[in-house]
Structure 1
Amino acid sequence: MGQERVRVAVDAMGGDFAPQEVVKGAVEAAKKGGVEIILVGPLERLEEELASCDWSGLPIRLHNAPQFIRDGEPPAAVLRAKPNASVMVAARLAKEGEADAALSMGHTGAVMIAARWVFGNIEGMDRPVGGGVVFSLAPKTVVLDLGPNVDCKPRQFLQFAALGVAYARCLLGIVEPRVGLLSNGAEEGKGNRQTKEAYKLLQRSGLNFVGNVEGWDIFSDRADVIVCDGFVGNVLLKFSEGLSAALADWLKERLSALLSAQEARKVADELRGMMEVERRVGGGPLLGVKGVMIAGHGRSKAPAVEKAIQQAKLAVESHLIETIEAEWHKVRQAIRG
C-alpha cells in the first residue's frame, strides 16, 4: 500500500471503558502515523470525548452511529434489533470500502456476529476463529481456537491450521510455520476421536505438520501454530491467566522481604502482565471472515486500543485475508488429492 494510510473504522462504543479510552487510544494511534481513524458512534458523544484530546490536524473523522450495544444485552438479538449499532456500522464501512479494517473492543460474541453477518465467511470455513499469540514466554507461537468453537468437527482443526499458518506468516513473519495438534501425548495414536481424525487430515494437508504436541510444547518452540478446539483453548487460556495472577501474588509476598514494596510490586505486575493479552497486543483479527475485523479485550484502556489499531494496520499491509484464502485453497486442493 506504499505510504498510504490504512483506514481503520473504530467502534468507539465497544468495551468496558468506552468511549473515553477508545477515543484516547485512537488519537494516540493517529499521532503515531500510518493510519486514518474513522470513529464510529453517536456524534455528540464522540465530539464530547474529543474535546479533551489534542487531535487538531490528525487524520481522524467521525461517522454517526446512534445505536450501540449496552452491557448485558444478548448480542444476536440486539444486533437484529439495532442494525445500525456502532459495531455493525464499523464493519460495514470496511465491507463497503470506506475503511480497510474494522475494530471493536466490545463483547466478543457481538463482534463475531457482526463480522459474520457483514463480511461473511471465507468459502469453506465453518465459523470465525479466535486465536493468536497468547503467552509472552512464547511470543512467536500462535494458539487457536481460544473459545468460539467449542464442539469441533475434525475438518475444523484443518481450518484452524490454515488460518494459523496465514497469521504466523503475515503478523509474525514466519516463512514456513510448523503446525502442531494439541493432545494428551506426542505419539500419533494419542487424543480423542476428533483429534485422531484431525491428525489424519493434517497429515494430508500439505502444511508443515509436526504431529501431536503437548501443553509444555507451547513454550518449547516445537511448533509455531498449535491447534485445538475452543473448549480446550479457552480452558488453557483461563488457567494460564489464573496461574499468572496467583504466581504474581505469591512472588510479591516472597519478594517483599528482599525488595522495597514498590520494586516487589513492579516484578509481580510484570509477571501478571505476561498473561494479559490486552496489555501487549490490544487485540487480534477474527480469522475466517472475508475482511479484517479486529476484536479487542473489553477491559482495554487507551494503550491497548492503540496497539489493536496497529494490529489492524499490520493485517491490512501484510494482506492477511488474501494470504488466508490462498493458504486455504492449497490445503483444500491437497485434501482432495
Structure 2
Amino acid sequence: MNKQGQDHIYRIALDAMGGDFGPAETVKAAVEGSSAHNVDIVLVGEEKLLRSELDKYEYSSRISVMPSKGVIQEGQHPVKAIRSNPSASIVLANQLVLEGKADAVVSMGSTGASMASSTLAFGLLEGLDRPALGGNVFGIAPKVSILDLGSSVDCRPSQLVDFAVIGSVYAKIILKIDNPRIGLLSVGGEEGKGNKQTQETYELLKNRDINFVGNVEGFDIFLNKADVIVCDGFVGNILLKFGEGFLRAMEYIFYNTLKDSLTAEDSNLIKSRFRSLGSQAENGGGPLFGVNGVVVVGHGSSRADSIIKSFNVVKQCLELNLVNAIRQELTGTANPN
C-alpha cells in the first residue's frame, strides 16, 4: 500500500458482484480496462458467474478470479452482514490487499459494506473515528471538493474539522491546488450563521492551520468561493443527489423543448454535455478517505466505462501516495515545503 514507481504495474481487487450491473459490467470493465490503464485485475465474486462472463471475451493473464460467496446488498446492516458472510466479495477483495496480493480495492457495491469491511481490514488513520466520502463530484464545478457525502450522517464538530483537513490534502495532491480554500456549508455567509454544529465547527476551523474562508452557501459551490466544501454526510448526500437529479431534469426539459428542431447529432451532444456537468461519482467514483489503504467507491449504477475510470483513480492515489499525505497532515508531520 506504499507509493511505488509510476512504471509499476498495480493489481486491483475488483468487487465483481457489486453495483446494479455486476458481474456483467464489472467483468467487461476488467477486460477492457486492464490494458487501457496497464493494471492487473483480480475479479472477486461467484466463480461460475464470472467464468461465464469472461467466456464472452478474449482476455489475457492480467485478469484473474478470486472465488467468493454472496454479496452484501444496499439496505443490509454492513457490520452484521460482514459477520454473517465473511466470504462476501467485498470482504475478500479487502483481504487480498491486507495480504499484499493486491494494491487497492474498487467497488460499485454497497457503500456501507465498503466502508465497514475496509475499516475492519485496514483500520483508520490515527486520530480519525470513521472514514469519509467525498471529492470533486460535480462536472459543473470540477475543482470543488465536497466532504462528507454520506459516510457520516451525524458528525461532531471535530469530525468536520478532520474532513476539512482531508479535503485540503486531496485538493493539493490530486487536483493540484496550492493552499486550497476551505468553506463550511451553512445557511448564510456571515460568522454565527447556522446550527450549533456549524457554529462550533466554525470556531475550530478558525484556529486550525488551514486556509479557512468562512461559511459558504449552497449556490457558492458553483461560484468559486471555496475549493473544499465541508458538511456532514446527511447534508452532503442530499446535496449530491439533488444536484444529480436537477441536472437530469434540466437535460430532459432542454431536450424535449428543442428535440423537434435538433439533428440526432445535436441531440446526442446536448445529452453528453449535460451529463458531463453532472455527478463525477458516475465517472469513476472516488477514494474512501481515512482508511489505511486505497479503496475507491463508485456509483451503484456505473457501467463498464465508469468502472474503467476508477482504475485511473486508483493509480493516482497510489502514485501520489495520497493515504500517507493525509496521515502526515492529520498527525502534524507534513513537510511544509
Q: TM-score, normalised by structure 1?
A: 0.92
Quick check: 2:12–2:104 contact (8 Å CA) kept in 1?
yes
Aligned with residue 295 of structure 1, among 294, 297, 307: 297
Q: Indicate the residue corresponding to 1:156 in structure 2.
A: 159
User: In the alignment, which of 217, 220, 234 is matched to residue 217 of structure 1?
Assistant: 220
Residue pairs, 1:243-322, within 5 angstroms: 243-260=246-263, 263-280=266-283, 282-322=284-324
Larger deviation: 64-73 or 285-294? Answer: 64-73
Q: 1:120-165 CA distances to partner (integer Å, 9 max, x unpaired)? A: 1112112111111111111011001111211211101101011111
Name the residue aligned to 1:169: 172
Larger deviation, residues 136-145 vs 37-46: 37-46
Partner of 2:132, secondary structure, is: coil
Q: How does 1:184-223 map to 2 (within 5 A)?
A: 184-223=187-226
**Which shifted more, 71-80 or 29-38?**
71-80
- Aligned partners of 1:72, 1:145: CA distance in 2, in Å? 20
* Paired amino acid for 2:203: K
Question: How big is the shift at 1:278?
Answer: 4.3
2:51 aligned with 1:47, yes or no? yes
**CA drift at 1:69:** 2.7
- Cα distance in structure 1, aligned partners of 2:332 and 2:96: 30
- The 5 A counterparts of 1:79-228 are 79-228=82-231
Q: Is 2:125–2:290's contact at 8 Å kept on the other side of the alignment?
A: yes
What's the CA shift for 1:11?
0.9
Quote how far apart the aligned CAs of 1:214 are: 1.5
Tell me, in whole angstroms, the C-alpha distance in 2 between the residues paired with 1:323 and 1:264.
44
Deviation readout 1:261-282 (Å, 9 max, x if unpaired): 55235414531452243443x2
CA gap of 1:207–1:71, structure 2 versus 1, over 3 A, is closer
Alpha-carbon spacing, 1:172–1:277, altered in 2? closer, same or farther (3 Å) = same
Native 8 Å contact 1:26 1:309 kept in 2? no
Q: Residues 200-228 of structure 1, C-alpha deviation per residue, up to 9 Å, x if partnerless? A: 11111101111111112211222111101
Q: Report the AA paired with residue 307 of structure 1.
A: K
Structure 2 residue runs without a partner (length 5+): none
RMSD: 1.9
Once residues 90 and 49 of structure 1 are traced to their aligned partners in structure 2, the CA distance between those partners, rounded to angstroms, is: 19
CA contact (8 A) 1:87 1:114 kept: yes
For the 8 Å contact 2:282–2:298, the answer to whether it is kept is no
1: CA distance between counterparts of 2:95 and 2:78? 17
What is the identity, as a one-letter code, of the residue corresponding to 1:54? E
Shift of 1:257: 4.1
Q: Who is 1:12 aligned against? A: 16
**Residue equivalent to 1:335:** none
- Asked whether the equivalents of residues 207 and 331 of structure 1 are also in contact (C-alpha less than 8 Å), the reply is no
Which residue of structure 1 aligns with residue 38 of structure 2? 34
Change (3 A) 1:230 1:279: closer
Output the CA distance in 2 between the equivalents of 1:43 and 1:258: 50
Identity over the aligned pairs, expressed in percent?
46
Distance 1:171 1:29 in 2: 21
Name the SS for the 1:38 alignment partner.
strand
What is the aligned partner in structure 1 of residue 237 from structure 2?
A: 234
User: Do the aligned partners of residues 103 and 316 (structure 1) sit closer, same or farther apart at CA in structure 2, a change above 3 Å counting?
Assistant: same
Alignment-mate amino acid for residue 234 of structure 2: F
Using the TM superposition, give the Cα deviation of residue 73 of structure 1 relative to its aligned residue in structure 2, in angstroms. 4.2
- Contact 2:282-2:301 within 8 A present in 1 as well: no
Alignment CA distance shift 1:77-1:52 (3 Å): same
AA aligned opposite 2:292: K
Q: Do the aligned residues in 2 keep the contact of 1:131 with 1:146 (CA within 8 Å)?
A: yes
Q: CA deviation at 1:312?
A: 1.1
Q: Match for 2:185: what amino acid?
A: L
Q: Structure 2 vs 1, CA of residues 273 and 160 (structure 1 numbering), >3 Å: closer, same or farther?
A: same
CA–CA separation in structure 2 for the residues paired with 1:284 and 1:197: 28
Determine the C-alpha separation between the residues in 1 that align with 2:140 and 2:275. Answer: 12
Map 1:51-66; keep pairs closer than 5 Å.
51-57=55-61, 59-66=62-69
- 2:140 touches 2:278 (CA, 8 Å); kept in 1? no
Q: Give 3-state SS (helix, strand or coil) of 2:30's partner.
A: helix
